[in-house]
Homo-oligomer: A and B are copies of this chain.
Amino acid sequence: MEAMGEPKSQERYEDELRSAGMRITRPRKTILKILAEGEGHPDAMTIFHRASEIDASVSLSTVYRTMKVLEDRGAIQRHVFEGGPSRFEPAGGRHHDHLIDTETGEVIEFRSDKIEALQEEIARSRGYEIVSHRLELYVRKIRGRKR
């Protein structure tokens, strides 16, 4: 049922870089491994920390540089939620939007064709075509019986 931010294997990421003529270096391997683990929507610092546990020599700059390269190649997507640092997720799945739990920071993906259609309609009616869009719902868990 999971199918939007579908994680990719480390090999898949490596191929994406290799086929773009990029070198597969030690630090990159480490970073890709972290991404392949697919733990949520990590920010650069989180990736850096996880990577450091595997190889203490990878630098934060390299994390940033690698993320940029992956983003440019379309291998990952960057999201900037309210007031926070950029967070990344594997790209390639279908487009989707996000629910951000304001208490935990957890990100939940969702998509609504109805909303997509309405957006399209709104832009068109104003004489515009959509280049990209973002819809973010900042939410709080409903406690109580609420089924």
Which residues from chain A sit less than 8 Å from chain B, CB to CB? 80, 82-83, 99, 101-102, 108, 110, 112, 114-115, 118-119, 122-124, 126-142, 146
Contact = CB atoms under 8 A, between A and B. Distances in A.
B108 A126 contact: yes
The majority secondary structure among interface residues of chain A is strand
Nearest to A111: B122
A50 B137 CA distance: 34
Nearest to A125: B110
A139 B135 contact: no
A83 B132 CA distance: 13
B114 A118 contact: yes
A138 B119 CA distance: 11
Given A115-B115, A133-B136, A136-B133, A122 B101 contact: no
Contact of A129 (B82, B83, B130, B140): B140
A49 B119 CA distance: 35
B115 A118 contact: yes
A99 B128 contact: yes
Contact of A131 (B126, B133, B139): B139
Nearest to A146: B127
Given A80-B83, A99-B126, A122-B137, 13 more contacts: A82-B134, A99-B122, A101-B128, A110-B122, A110-B126, A112-B118, A123-B139, A127-B146, A128-B142, A129-B142, A131-B138, A134-B134, A135-B135
